[in-house]
Amino acid sequence: MKNNNGAVIRRLTGRSLQSNKKRNFFIITAIALTTLLIASVFSIGMSLMESMKMQETRLMGTVAHAAITQPTASQMEQLNQLNYVKAAGTGNNVAFVKTTPQMGDMNLSLHYFDKTEWEKLRAPAFTDIAGSYPQKENEIMVPLWVLERLGIENPSIGMEIPLSYYTENGNNGALVNEVFNLSGWFTSYMYIRSGNIDSILVSEELSQEYGKTAEANGSASVLFDNSSRVLEYCEQLKLDLGLSETQKVKIVPAFDVDPGDMRTTLIALSTVIAFLIFTGYLLIYNVLYISVSRDVRFYGLLKTLGTTPKQIKRVVIGQIVRLCIIGIPIGAAVAFLLSFVAVPLFLSNLGSIATGTVVSFSPLIYLGAALFALFTALLGAFKPAKKAASISPIEAQKFTGIKINKSRVYSSVNGKPYKMAFRNIFRDRKRAAIVLLSLFLGITTFITITTLITSMDTDNYVASYLESDFMLQNNTVMVGYPEQKFTSAFMDTIKSLPGFESLRVTTLEWMRLDYSPDEFGEYVDDYIKRNNAEGLTEQNIYDNFTGIIAGIDREALTELNKTMDKPIDIDAFERGEFALIATNTPNLFENVDELTIFPMVCTSESGMQERPGSEPIKVPVGGFVPQSFGKICRSFAPNVFVSNTLMNAVYGEPIVLKLHIDVAQGYEEQALDTLKQITDEVYEVSRQSKLEAQEELRASKIMLYILGGGVALILALIGILNFVNVMSVGIVVRKQELATLECVGMSRKQVRRMLVSEGLGYAVITLFFVFTAGNAITFGIFKLFQQQATYAIFTYPFIPVLMASLAVLAICIITPENAYCSIYKSTIVERLREAE
């Protein structure tokens, strides 16, 4: 049975805390800063993940995992009873809206969702939902962006909106003109992905009026109970529901997240957290260690009186735990408040979130941060506690608070203050090492972060990923409803841009490759392995071996040729003598000498089909380009690149995917203005321009500067706190020694000079390491960074470094000065006596 002596240990713990207010301040600050930093890192990570996930669902316009086309009523009933189905709803198309010139380019339908579909599956993917789902026949609910196009800036419930619509597709059926009442609106994000395709929601009544049902015109959406087993469940569905030939199970395409990318992020995150823990640990450890060394008499006395080593450990650890109870909530609270500001800023500057960011306030963030901070604190307290516990009562009796390094014989100091100062710095080498390390880490981090940010050369960055001054892209293509947006008339407009210099065209069409296991076997195996698409029969593969064929200009290859070991014969390519396969693993295609290409066509109505009236062509394989070439998404068959000449020959008028436009220097702004006029209203066309990208990047660079600088500053602050603590404690402990020095005739001025030299010594040593090892580290990290961001150019941040150095010098001088002044208030005699 444990001894019942906890109360006195708790009291000793409490009193120790009370009598060490200054030290507590340092430790609480360290704990709070550590918590703050860790919580911030977690918060950014979690928010980023949540924002990405949310973006995914918002762009899909549904939270469902899969859809079943034309479900029957009995199938729905079955569906609702399957234990792996969390929710299932139906929806169907009711009519097609006739677009007016005012509405511009868009593709709207009237759509009906049942209750489950709307409430459980659709509404969560929308935001700013106002009003309610249409109940009456003449009620509608409209996406906000559509309302804007209709010229309605301030919608109100019940307002009248006239619409014309066809009851059947393809301008078939009757054209109906009707005035609807607005029952609600919402922000939808689907159109960003789909290229202005969206739906206006109508009531069940209207749907029934035109005899539209889910079975005939719609589909059922299904939400499974486990998002990681969607593929498996889809197969299961087919069996469980007994789907007919024509019914299909479509998986809602979710954006692929490269697991390798996740791993890098995870490693980066753990490194950052390990680093934060380490810096926090250094400070807490040092502050506690100094405090324990100062209190050697106290702990030795406790031991003499019968406090066991275990009890002493409990006293030290108990103190740190109590300080954690104060420090962690402070850090967490500041992190919480900060996350309102810093996290959205950070996320929006990461640039990948288009549908609005969410700030995560998951308790996991704060729990995690608290745990890590507690871990840091305990880690920092462990050794000092052990030291306190192992203090021998005899040593404590003799202890004067001054450790003298016996192993070294110094040369005479001749009473020179700076020589004594130097000796003082290394009197306790371990302590000196920790302070120097802490200061060094703080300042080096600061310099590294500043270097990385200043090195992000915007011009270079833009040039590295934008090949031309302007790039226009037809978004309908990638969504799967291709439409020729860049007509020859449009091209003419481009060519008449002010200062127009050159235009490059990328065309894109669909094709099926003639599959044979001998040729493509290796590739297909690899594909199946990567995509977990088991269970395909040879016939399946043959039928579905479709992909993208893209036409490019010679200029596109010129740039690429520079990086290739085996340059491509551009002239022959231009003549259409061979095709290029896009892959990162050319050896998978060792057996492919010639491609047999069946031209295909892809429409929104019937999907992919053989192109009517075209013959397959045979083209030899002339080489390989990287997978990411041309930034075109991939399908089952590998992407094939041919010259535009060949494309025109095979496909007649192939769809133009991208336009790369260059203008003469100095005309960029003018050209941009014109392009804005042409494209701003056209949602299916997206625009990238070097000018805009640079602007954007500059803004986000400033933000990164503030955020990164903030983190660096906090770390530097931890280092400086450590120094301030060591220096001021060191002087207070040496009170008596200093008084003795004065007694033997050292003038106050000399004492002061000695102390200031001591501080200066720390500064000089730290800066020496910062400018040698620190700069080497900075450069090394920059090199690593450059591998990720090739556009970075090493730029040394002279001004921030100068300022940081001056700040360190200033603090190293002011701290001893201050500490000395504070003990100077008493006379020599008093100080001598006080030492008892």
Partner 1 sequence: MALAVTIIIAVAICFLTVLFSYRYVRKTFDSIDQVLDSVLAKNTDLPLEATADNRLSKLTHKAVKIIQMNTMDISQTRQEKEIIQSFISDMSHQMKTPLSGIAMYTDLLLEGRITEAERQEFLSRVKMGTEKLQWMMDSLVKMSRLEVGAIELSPVSTGIKQTISDSISTVYGAAAKKNISIQTAYFEDVSLLHDRKWTSEAITNILENAIKYSSANREINISLETLPIYTKISITDYGIGIAPDEWNSIFKRFYRGRNAKGVDGAGLGLYLASLIFHKQDGYILVDSKPGKYTTFSMFLQNCKK
Partner 2 sequence: MPVLSTQGLKKHYGKEPHIVRALDGIDIAVEAGEFVAVVGMSGSGKSTLLHMLGGLDKPTDGKVIVDGQELAKMSDEQLTIFRRRNVGFVFQSYNLVPILSVYENIVLPIELDGNTIDRAFIDEIIDTLGLGEKRDNLPNMLSGGQRQRVAIARALATKPSILLADEPTGNLDTKTSQDVLGVLKMTSTKFHQTMMMITHNEQIAQLSDRVIHIEDGKIVREGRS
- Scan residues 18-47 and list those touching partner 2 (CB under 8 A): 18-19
Cβ proximity to partner 1, 44 vs 317, nearer residue:
317
In whole angstroms, what is the distance from residue 481 CA to residue 105 CA?
14
- Tokens read off for 619: 């083209």
Taking the least distance from each CB to partner 1, the nearer of 5 and 790 is 5
CB 399 within 8 A of CB 297: yes
Q: In the range 142-161, which residues lie near partner 2 by CB under 8 A?
A: none
Tell me which of partner 2, partner 1, none is bound by residue 585, counting a contact when its beta carbon lies within the kind-specific cut-off of 5 to 8 angstroms: none
Stretch touching partner 1 by CB under 8 A, among 2-10, 13-21, 116-124, 442-450: 2-10
**Which string of x and - marks every residue 309-348 that binds partner 1 (by CB under 8 A)?**
-xx-------------------------------------
Residue 4 contacts partner 1 per CB under 8 A: yes
Which positions from 391 through 430 interact with partner 2, judged by CB under 8 A? 392-394, 397
Q: Which of 132, 244, 308, 390 lies at the binding interface for partner 1 (CB under 8 A)?
A: 308
As measured in angstroms, the least distance from the Cβ of 698 to partner 2 is 57
- 2 part of the interface to partner 1, by CB under 8 A: yes
Coil, helix or strand at residue 290: helix
DSSP label at residue 716: H
Among the residue ranges 305-313, 506-514, 729-737, 814-822, the one whose residues contact partner 1 (CB under 8 A): 305-313
Does 575 interact with partner 2 (rule: CB under 8 A)?
no
304 vs 677 by CB, closer to partner 1: 304
**Nearest Cα to 233, choosing from 60, 67, 119, 89?**
67
Least distance in Å: CB of 822 to partner 2? 19
The answer to whether 385 contacts partner 2 (rule: CB under 8 A) is no
Least separation, in Å, of the C-beta of 808 and partner 1?
Answer: 48
CB 13 to partner 2: min, Å = 10
DSSP letters, 214-232, are HHHHEEEEEEES-GGGHHH
Out of 149, 303, 313, 314, which residue is the one contacting partner 2 (CB under 8 A)? 303
Contact characters 304-323, partner 2, x per CB under 8 A: xxxxxxxx------------
If binding is defined by CB under 8 A, does position 302 make contact with partner 2?
yes
Q: Among residues 308 and 628, whose Cβ is nearest to partner 1?
A: 308
137 touches 127 (CB < 8 A): no
Give the residue with the Cβ less far from partner 1, 3 or 488: 3
Work out whether 412 is an interface residue with partner 1 (CB under 8 A): no
Please report whether residue 5 would count as binding partner 1 according to CB under 8 A: yes
Separation between Cα atoms, residue 165 and residue 96, nearest integer Å: 5
Nearer to partner 2 by Cβ, of 18 and 83: the residue is 18
**3-state DSSP call for residue 823?**
helix
**What are phi and psi for residue 479, nearest 5 degrees?**
-75, -20
Q: Which two tokens stand for residue 57?
A: 């669902």
Burial of 615 by CB count in 10 Å (0-12 exposed, 13-18 middle, 19+ buried)?
A: exposed
How far is C-alpha 408 from the chain's CA centre?
Answer: 53
Residues 6+ apart with CB under 8 A from 762: 425, 432, 435, 436, 439, 723, 727, 812
- Residue 67 or 288 having the CB closest to partner 2: 288
Residue 1 contacts which entry, partner 1, partner 2, none (Cβ below 5-8 A, type-dependent) = partner 1
Crossing angle of helices 429-455 and 690-733, in 10° steps, is 170
- The residues near 136 (Cβ < 8 Å, ≥ 6 apart) are 181, 183, 203, 205
Burial label, 246 (beta-carbon count in 10 A; 0-12, 13-18, 19+): exposed
SS (H, E, C) 500-528: EEEEEEEEEEEEEECCCHHHHHHHHHHHH
From the list partner 2, partner 1, none, partner contacted by residue 803 (C-beta under 5 to 8 A by kind): none
Residues that bind partner 1 (CB under 8 A): 1-5, 308, 310-311
Residues that bind partner 2 (CB under 8 A): 3-8, 11-12, 15-16, 18-19, 297-298, 301-311, 390, 392-394, 397, 836
